[in-house]
């Protein structure tokens, strides 16, 4: 596959073509800004493609195979903090008595 040209390469190629055109006796006409080369009311020519339309290949099965080969994503578990947890101590009837610290 041919690597795409960079913008700098494109610019150099266009400048070379302009220089060659001018060397061969070509002339550049000055055109006012905003003037179009098309006739007023004319439509753009239809776009023609070089190759006929191709059918698309469904990739559902290939995508499923790729997903199946992937490693299952591991969920990051937060490390348990070693700090004690504050716990409410209640009596037999559910009335709060006091707060206590419980080790994890």
Which position has the higher pLDDT, 53 or 21? 21
**Contact assessment for residue 101 and residue 87, using Cβ atoms and an 8 Å cutoff:** yes
Q: Report pLDDT digits (tens) over 33-63.
A: 877 777 777 777 777 777 777 888 888 999 9
Q: Report pLDDT digits (tens) over 23-36.
A: 999 888 887 887 77
CA-CA distance, 53 to 47, in Å (whole number)? 13
């Amino acid at each position: 596959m041919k690597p795409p040209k960079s913008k700098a390469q494109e610019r150099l190629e266009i400048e070379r073509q302009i220089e060659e055109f001018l060397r061969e006796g070509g002339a550049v006409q000055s055109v006012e800004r905003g003037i179009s080369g098309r006739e007023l009311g004319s439509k753009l020519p239809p776009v023609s493609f070089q190759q006929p339309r191709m059918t698309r290949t469904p990739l559902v099965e290939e995508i499923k195979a790729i997903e199946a080969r992937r490693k299952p994503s591991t969920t990051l578990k937060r490390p348990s903090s070693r700090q004690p947890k504050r716990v409410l101590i209640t009596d037999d009837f559910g009335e709060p008595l006091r707060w206590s610290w419980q080790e994890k």
